[in-house]
Amino acid sequence: MAESAFSSNDPQLATSVSAYAVPLESILCTEELHSRPTRPPDYEKENRALVKLVSALADSPSTIFHTLAETIQDITRCDSAGLSLLTKDGKTPHVDGQRFYWPAICGMWNPHVGGGTPRNFGPCGDVLDQNRTLLFTHFERRYPYLMPVSPAAEECLLVPFYVNGKAVGTIWGIMHSDRRKFDAEDDRVMASLGKFASSAYQAWMHIEELKVEVAEREKAEAEVRELAKGLEAKIRRLVEANVVGIMMFNLDGAITEANAAFLHMVQFDREDLASGRVRWADLTPAEWRGRDERALVEIKATGTVQPYEKEYLRKDGIRVPVMVGGALFEGSQSEGVAFALDLTQQKSAQERLEEARRALYTIQAELARVARVTTMGELAASIAHEVNQPLTAITNNGSACLRLLANRKLDPEVLKSALQEIVADGTRASAVITRIRGFLKKAPTEMCELDINDIIREVLTLAGHELQKNQLLLECQLSGALPRVRADRVQLQQVLLNLVMNGVEAMNGAPNRTLSLESRTDESGNVLVAVRDSGTGLGSEVDRLFTPFFTTKTNGMGMGLPISRSLIESHGGRLWATANSPHGAVFSFTLPAAGECNL
């Protein structure tokens, strides 16, 4: 079928080189145009036609090619007239410029509208190559491709036209019989119409380009609309799910929209919201306004505000802890959306935990005090001795003075020196009492920065008599360059005293009794204290040492080591036991250097 041949888009065919049947010159008769008798120009008709064309271009540019073809047929009085345009598709090079197609045909070939030929399979290719108007006669002799097209072309006048110097197509007229031959007048008119074709083509191209542009824009907009529709649904889901409070606000302090969760959180209702009574500025208690101010600065500078904790005042005046965060709408300087999360549950859980921790501390402190009382009980004999010594001296001096007084032999100088001794011994006795009372007092934990060596010295004073009584050798290796530790003085004294007393007890009856105390920094920069004894050692009991109520002493409570360990751990440290060499035990504890300890 003829149509199928013309409308073929077969790339194989399109790109194959045309095997022209006869040379171009043999089918041309262009020169004859000027030798044939010619009709006079009909300028009036020509002008009307051009005006009609121009107004058609303005009114209905989409059909301009058809109007042009009609005009050609009308003015040249030919049998068929039309346009051939080179295919133009910037995206596919094997199509671009490879074919001619026929956008408009009038007359007998009108049924072939929309068809076309590969570039080198018809006369248009030769016209563009020659770059001039050509008159063909029976061109099917050279272009077998057009052989089946009927009715056959007796004569065909083709005029190329250009845009910006580049050939884009041809206009043509065909005589299917020899009733009339094209003449010079046709040549002139066709040249004129060729120029119009160029303009029309450009206008049409612009329109096509615009159409493409519009289509692309519409497609993009449709996509955005589609996306927005999906997003909106998702956002609506978030808002309506009421898992977090969500509200729209402006920077003036108003809340313009809010979900049920938000309203419930602050105990307002829809009516309040509608009347503008719900204002975030008013929901904020005075002491949180400063924090809000900072958030405002942040949101103005960056468009968003990172979540932060604050409180809202509910309608009934009760405070509710919340976490809020938000963002300004894109392109807006004053309006945005924010979320608010009710932290009441978390806060109360946190408070309960805090309370439990405080209670634990109180119990631990009380237990520690009981242990101190116990330790003091064990030290009672030593304490009695320490108090008795100055008391005895005071009694002696006092009695001596009374005797001299009774005998009237009292020299004021002697009296003075005796009284001085009495005062000094009284002070000494009271210092012992103060020290013990300080150790036993029921006071809350008091953290301050301490030199651990001071604590060691204080404990050696407390236990000094006990050490002496047991006739043991005391060795101290205290590092002079220790960082300070942050700790409760009494609790540290307690731990050390406990370890020292354990050491003394462990060496009861041992042949070589040496108690050594060491202070230094460990590999991690912590302060380490070690108490070594040369006693019986830990044996198989090492695992149970820190178990409450485990004791090897006849009158021990079995709480000393567990309490000591818990005290050290509450200071962020560690307490452990190892074997001493060649015999005995080492009890060590560490404490973080002050400044690194997070309590």
Partner 1 sequence: MTAARAIPTAPLVVVIDDDPSIRSSLKFLLSTVGLQAATFDSADGFLHTNFPDVPSCLVLDVRLPGLSGLDFQRELAARNICIPIIFLTGHGDIPMSVRAMKAGAIEFLTKPFRDQDLLDAVRVALDRDRKRREQETQMADFRHRFDSLTHREQEVVSMVVAGMLNKQIAAELGTAENTVKVHRSRAMEKMHAQSVAELVKMIDKLEASVEP
**Residue number with CB closer to partner 1 (152 or 410):** 410
**Residue number with CB closer to partner 1 (427 or 524):** 427
**Residue number with CB closer to partner 1 (501 or 530):** 501
Residue from 110, 364, 396, 445 touching partner 1 (CB under 8 A): that is 396
Cα torsion 389, 392, 394, 396: sign? negative
Q: Which residues contact 482 (CB under 8 A, 6 or more apart)?
A: 451, 452, 453, 519, 520, 521, 527
Residue 63 touches partner 1, criterion: CB under 8 A:
no
E-only strand ranges, 144-226: 155-163, 166-175
Task: Quote the least distance from Cβ 373 to partner 1, whole Å.
Answer: 20
Task: Quote the least distance from Cβ 468 to partner 1, whole Å.
Answer: 6
Residue 16 touches partner 1, criterion: CB under 8 A:
no
**Residue number with CB closer to partner 1 (454 or 505):** 505
Rule CB under 8 A: which of 447-506 touch partner 1?
Answer: 468-469, 471
**Residue number with CB closer to partner 1 (353 or 384):** 384
Burial of 556 (0-12, 13-18, 19+ CB in 10 A): middle
Task: Quote the least distance from Cβ 395 to partner 1, whole Å.
Answer: 4
Q: Which two tokens stand for residue 579?
A: 């074997």
Burial of 406 (0-12, 13-18, 19+ CB in 10 A): exposed
**Residue number with CB closer to partner 1 (231 or 423):** 423
Task: Quote the least distance from Cβ 455 to partner 1, whole Å.
Answer: 25
Closest among 389, 378, 372 to 508, alpha carbons compared:
378
Residue 238 touches partner 1, criterion: CB under 8 A:
no
CB 328 within 8 A of CB 303: yes
Task: Quote the least distance from Cβ 453 to partner 1, whole Å.
Answer: 24
Task: Quote the least distance from Cβ 384 to partner 1, whole Å.
Answer: 5
Task: Quote the least distance from Cβ 596 to partner 1, whole Å.
Answer: 42
Q: 443 - beta bridge partners?
A: none
Interface map 397-436 toward partner 1 (x if CB under 8 A) = x-xx--xx--x-x----x---x--x--xx--x--------
Task: Quote the least distance from Cβ 428 to partner 1, whole Å.
Answer: 8
Residue 2 touches partner 1, criterion: CB under 8 A:
no
**Residue number with CB closer to partner 1 (202 or 388):** 388
The Cα 511–Cα 536 span in angstroms is 10
- SS3 readout for 213-240: HHHHHHHHHHHHHHHHHHHHHHHHHHHH
**Residue number with CB closer to partner 1 (151 or 464):** 464
**Residue number with CB closer to partner 1 (407 or 598):** 407
The Cα 570–Cα 368 span in angstroms is 12
- The Cβ-side half-sphere exposure at 137, using a 13 Å CA radius, reads 14
Task: Quote the least distance from Cβ 470 to partner 1, whole Å.
Answer: 10
**Residue number with CB closer to partner 1 (292 or 425):** 425
**Residue number with CB closer to partner 1 (4 or 471):** 471
Closest among 284, 275, 349 to 314, alpha carbons compared:
284
Task: Quote the least distance from Cβ 375 to partner 1, whole Å.
Answer: 18
**Residue number with CB closer to partner 1 (389 or 551):** 389
Residue from 75, 394, 527, 585 touching partner 1 (CB under 8 A): that is 394
Burial of 538 (0-12, 13-18, 19+ CB in 10 A): buried
Task: Quote the least distance from Cβ 583 to partner 1, whole Å.
Answer: 25
If one counts every other C-beta atom within 10 angstroms of the C-beta of residue 422, the result is: 18
Number of residues that bind partner 1 (CB under 8 A): 28
CB 315 within 8 A of CB 266: yes
Residue from 202, 332, 334, 395 touching partner 1 (CB under 8 A): that is 395
E-only strand ranges, 413-497: 447-450, 473-478, 485-488
Strand order in the sheet with 514-521: 473-478, 514-521, 527-532, 585-591, 574-579
Task: Quote the least distance from Cβ 426 to partner 1, whole Å.
Answer: 11
Rg (CA), the chain: 56
Rule CB under 8 A: which of 370-389 touch partner 1?
Answer: 381, 384-385, 388-389
Q: Which residues contact 338 (CB under 8 A, 6 or more apart)?
A: 246, 247, 248, 249, 280, 305, 324, 325, 326, 327
- Please state, in angstroms and as integers, the Cα–Cα distance from residue 370 to each residue in 251, 362, 434, 555, following that order: 60, 12, 18, 15
Residue from 82, 115, 122, 390 touching partner 1 (CB under 8 A): that is 390
The Cα 182–Cα 39 span in angstroms is 10
Task: Quote the least distance from Cβ 555 to partner 1, whole Å.
Answer: 17
**Residue number with CB closer to partner 1 (342 or 425):** 425
Q: Which helix (H) or strand (E) holds 346?
A: helix 344-378
For partner 1, the binding residues (CB under 8 A) are 381, 384-385, 388-397, 399-400, 403-404, 407, 409, 414, 418, 421, 424-425, 428, 468-469, 471
